[in-house]
Amino acid sequence: MRFWPYSRNSKPKQFLDVLGTGKTLLQSTLDRYLPICPKENVLVVTNKEHCVQAHEQLPMLTEDQILGEPMRRNTAPCIAYACQKIYKKNPDAIVIVSPSDHLIQNEKEFQNTILKSAEQAKGNDMLITLGIKPTRPETGYGYIQYIDSKKPLKKVKTFTEKPELALAKKFVESGEFVWNSGIFIWNVKAILSALEKHTPELAELFHEAVAQLGTPNEEKAIEAVYSQCRSISIDFGVMEKATNVYVWLSQFQWSDLGTWASLHEASPRDDSKNVIYADALTYDTRNSYIKGPKDKLMIVQGLNGYLVGWFDDVLVVCEKDKEELFKRFVNDLKAKNNGAGYL
């Protein structure tokens, strides 16, 4: 669970203002697209239990624009659901798939990249992803190897998901790899065709439900689909298998904000490289992320590279770069009878 204990099952990170901007990550994502996409063309896909939160945070969207998944089945069913809805309204639509929990800077450059990629996808049987030039051998990201050409849109050679550190170093040193941003651009016919070819069982389930989309029976039909389909990512299900995949080498700054360390790197820091969202006094403390309630005083001394966080009913003091420890904390809590109250 990313950003636990700040993020909980009841309020995942996309519904939080993790950057202290006054907007949640979900709200910032929508704002990023509104200059190039009419709000009536936006669909938000989220877990059914989070539909109310999504609508509260995005009141400019109608309830029909927020699609509730009855259970978690990864990104391929999510994308299939949304694209079938889009195809029914406009079979010539260009679709941009965008996670709602990323940090993107240089937003004008980002918007220009989206528009250029969309122009390439228009009328062409190609699946485009945006690639980010690596700045470090990050093991938490996927990597794309491409066939070099003089054009910014390059043919994809291989995908590698979250490599070990030694392999990530080789990828960065080679100059032949970019990070996989998880942002996809394609025309709706191209992705539905790819789903039929590479995930035929999933495509067949949605074919059976198509007639119910946009009717009072939609929710029941989607529940039937999700109860029968397997959990599968769009990367594994389609992108790693298809031969018509391209990557656009992008220049905007990007982070998927997947760890406390990445959040520290993306946030404003003081002279000691501390990120502080709290009423705090620090002494001989550097390179740390400190967050707590404004009505509680926190005193932090002698730490280097730590997360010190006071989140409702959980206090955590931990080395922020030890991401594997956070997974252990969550797993240990799940093993406890009373752990559910903290997750």
In terms of Cα–Cα distance, which of 79, 71, 65 is closest to 26?
A: 65
Same structural domain, 56 and 121: yes
CA-CA distance, 322 to 62, in Å (whole number)? Answer: 41
**pLDDT tier at 259, thresholds 50, 70, 90:** confident
This prediction has a pTM of: 0.90
Strand partners, 94: 187
Same structural domain, 119 and 22: yes
> DSSP strand E in the chain: where?
44-47, 66-69, 94-97, 103-104, 127-132, 142-146, 153-161, 177-187, 245-250, 254-255, 275-277, 279-283, 289-291, 297-301, 306-311, 314-319
In terms of Cα–Cα distance, which of 252, 202, 264, 246 is closest to 228?
A: 202
Residue 5 lies in a domain: no
What are the pLDDT digits (tens) for 135-148?
A: 888 888 899 999 98
Decide if 41 contacts 188 (C-beta within 8 A): no
Lowest mean pLDDT: which of 32-36, 198-202, 339-343?
339-343
What are the pLDDT digits (tens) for 320-343?
A: 988 778 888 888 888 876 656 778
What is the DSSP track for 244-258? SEEEEEE-S-EE---
Same structural domain, 316 and 252: no
In terms of Cα–Cα distance, which of 76, 64, 87 is closest to 190?
A: 87
Same structural domain, 233 and 277: no
Which helix (DSSP H) or strand (DSSP E) does residue 71 occupy?
A: none
pLDDT value at residue 91: 96
Out of 258, 278, 300, pick the residue that ends a domain: 258
What are the pLDDT digits (tens) for 232-241?
A: 999 999 999 9
What are the pLDDT digits (tens) for 35-90?
A: 999 999 999 999 999 999 999 999 999 999 999 999 999 999 999 999 999 999 99
Same structural domain, 192 and 226: yes
pLDDT value at residue 261: 85
3-state secondary structure 265-280: HHCCCCCCCCEEECEE
Same structural domain, 248 and 117: yes
pLDDT (average), residues 278-307? 95
Share of the chain above pLDDT 70, in %: 98
pLDDT value at residue 340: 63
Residue 238 lies in a domain: yes
Residue 2 lies in a domain: no
CATH classification of the domain holding 198: 3.90.550.10
pLDDT over 70 at 8, yes or no: yes
What are the pLDDT digits (tens) for 205-220?
A: 999 999 999 999 999 9
Same structural domain, 250 and 273: no
Residue 4 lies in a domain: no
Same structural domain, 73 and 215: yes
pLDDT value at residue 81: 98
Residue 10, classed as helix, strand or coil, is coil
Residue 323, domain extent: 268-342
Out of 217, 233, 258, pick the residue that ends a domain: 258
**pLDDT tier at 1, thresholds 50, 70, 90:** low
Same structural domain, 190 and 315: no
CA-CA distance, 154 to 135, in Å (whole number)? Answer: 20
Same structural domain, 146 and 238: yes
